[in-house]
Amino acid sequence: MEHLDPPARPTKRLETRTIEVVPDEERHGTPRSQFTLWFGANMQITAIVNGSLAVVFGADPLWAVIGLLAGNLLGGAVMALHSAQGPRLGLPQMISSRAQFGVLGAVLPLCLVIVMYLGFAATGTVLAGQAVDGILHTGTPWVGVVVFGVLTTVVALLGYRHIHVLGRAATVLGIIGFLYLAVRLIATQDVATLFGTKPFDGATFLLAISLGAGWQLTYGPYVADYSRYLPRTTSARTTFHCTLWGSVLGSQWSMTLGVVVAALPAATGQGFLDNQVGYLGDLSGGGVIALLIYLVIVVGKLTVNCLNAYGGFMSALTTVSAFTRERQVSQRARITYIVAFITVSLLVALLASDDFLTNFKNFVLTILMVFTPWSAINLVDYYLVSRERVDIPALYDPSGRYGRWNVIALGCYLAGVAAQIPFLAQTLYTGPVTKALGGADISWIIGLLFTGAAYYALTRHRSNAPEHMLDASEAISDHQGEEKHTSPS
C-alpha cells in the first residue's frame, strides 16, 4: 500500500506516523528522553492517590512505602522490557503483539486495552479538571474537565515529539512542585511520628506491592509507542534502564507523598481524602503558590493523559486495521480517532462516581487481572521463544506467518486470566485463596508466572519466528525463497 502522507520529518506540524514501522531515516533522540517522559508522567496527582490507597486500606505508612517501592520495581522491570522492544521493532506495542496472538487474535487484548485507557483518561481528567477549575475559578467543575480535554486533544494531535517535550516540562515542574510540597509537609507536620505506628500486616503489605506493580504494569501495552522513534542501534539495555528508573523514581516519589498525606491525623488528612486537588492547594499555603501547584498538577496529568489518548487511538486503529489490512492511514483518519477517543473519555469523566478512591483501587486491581497474562506472553515470546526475531510485514497480513489466530497464545491468555480468580480481592468478589491470606491480592503474580510458564512450555519447540529480524525489504526476498508458512491456528 502506498503512503497516504509524505514521510514525517522533525517539524512543528502534526505527526503523520501511526501503526506503520518508523523508517530508519526518521529515527531520532536518545534513551534519556524515555527517562524524562516517564518521570514526568508519574509525577502527578493520580500517583499520589494511588499511593494513599495503601494507607487508606490499612497499611502502616512505613510498610506502605516499602511495599509500593517493591511493586514499582517489579512492575517497572516488566514495563521497561516492553519499552526496550521499541527501537528494535520501530512499531507500536500492540501491533507487535500480533506475533504472539495472530493478526485477528490480538484484537481480544486490544479491546481490553482501549477500555483501560478510557478508564485512566477519565479518572485522570476528573482530578485535572478540578485543578483547572482552581486556576480559572469558574466554580463549575465540568468547565475544568472540558478545558483539560481540549488541551489533551491538542497535544495528542501534535503527536510524539510534542508529547516528549511535555514530558520534559512535567519533569522540571514536577520536581519543583513536589519538592516544595514535601518541604511544606515536613515543616508543618510531625511526619516522622507517622511511621511504624502499626505492626507489620502481610495482607496490607501485599496490597501495597500490588498497587505499585499494577501502576507500572498498566503502562506495558503502550510503553514501546514512545521508544519506537529511537534509532535502531539504540542499546536495549540503556532504553530499559532509562524507562525503568524514570518511571519508578517518579511514581515512588508521588506515591510516598500520598502515603504521608493519607496517614496524617483525621482532622488534617480527611481533607485529602475528600478533595485531593484542594488539599494540595491548601498544603502549599494557598494564594499564588496554590495556583502554581494547580499548574503542576495540570501539566503532570496532561502528560499522562496524552499518553492515554495517544495509546488509545493507536489501539483502536490497530483493532480496525486487523480487519482492513491497512498499514497506514490518512491524517484525517488519525485526527478522527484521537478526537473520538478523547470525547468518549470526557463523557465518562463527567459522569464519574464521587466514590473515587474505592473505585480507582478496584479499577487498578481489575485491570491487572487482564493485562498481566498479556504482558507475560508478549515478553516470553519476544525474548525467550522468538529471541527478538520478528517478521514485521507478516504482522499486517492475516494470511502470513502469524496467521489470523494463535490458539495456543489465546488459550494461555484466557487460562492466565482464569487462574487469577481464586486470588482476587475485589468489592464484588473475593477469591477463596485471598480469604485464606487475610485479604491479600496476589493475582498479578499468578497471572505473570502461570501464564509465562505455560506459554513457554507449549511454544519453545514450535517457534514460528524467522531466522532473523525481517523488515519490509528483507521480507520480500526471504518469502520468495521460502515455502508458505503454516498458520499457527
pTM for the full model? 0.88
Residue 189 phi, psi dihedral angles, 5° rounding? -130, 150
Q: Using CA atoms, how far apart are residues 46 and 148, in angstroms rounded to an integer?
A: 15
Summarize the confidence of residues 243-270 as an average pLDDT: 87
Count CB neighbours of 199 within 10 A: 7
Q: Using CA atoms, how far apart are residues 232 and 88, in angstroms rounded to an integer?
A: 5
Q: Which residues pair with 470 in a beta bridge?
A: 391
What is residue 71's predicted lDDT score, i.e. its pLDDT?
A: 96
By residue count, the chain amounts to 489
Given a cut of 70, is residue 477 above it in pLDDT?
Answer: no
How many helical (H) and strand (E) elements, i.e. helices and strands, does the chain have?
Answer: 20, 0
Count CB neighbours of 366 within 10 A: 18
For every residue of 378-405, DSSP letters joined together read HHIIIIIISTT--BTGGGG-TTSTT-S-
Q: Is 287 exposed, middle or buried (0-12, 13-18, 19+ CB in 10 A)?
A: exposed
Count CB neighbours of 266 within 10 A: 8
Bigger pLDDT: 454 vs 483? 454
* pLDDT 10s digits, 189-210: 888 888 988 889 888 899 899 8
Bigger pLDDT: 470 vs 177? 177
* pLDDT 10s digits, 99-131: 999 999 999 988 888 888 888 888 888 888 889
DSSP state, residue 6: P
Residue 341, C-alpha cell as written in the block? 477517543
Residue 44, C-alpha cell as written in the block? 502527578
The percentage of the chain sitting over the pLDDT mark of 70, rounded to a whole number, equals: 90
* pLDDT 10s digits, 271-281: 677 788 888 88
* pLDDT 10s digits, 176-191: 999 999 999 998 888 8
Given a cut of 90, is residue 443 above it in pLDDT?
Answer: no
Given a cut of 60, is residue 267 above it in pLDDT?
Answer: no
Residue 2 phi, psi dihedral angles, 5° rounding? -75, 155
Q: Using CA atoms, how far apart are residues 63 and 456, in angstroms rounded to an integer?
A: 35
Q: Using CA atoms, how far apart are residues 364 and 214, in angstroms rounded to an integer?
A: 6
Place of cell 526475531: 389
DSSP state, residue 430: B
Bigger pLDDT: 18 vs 455? 455
DSSP state, residue 484: P
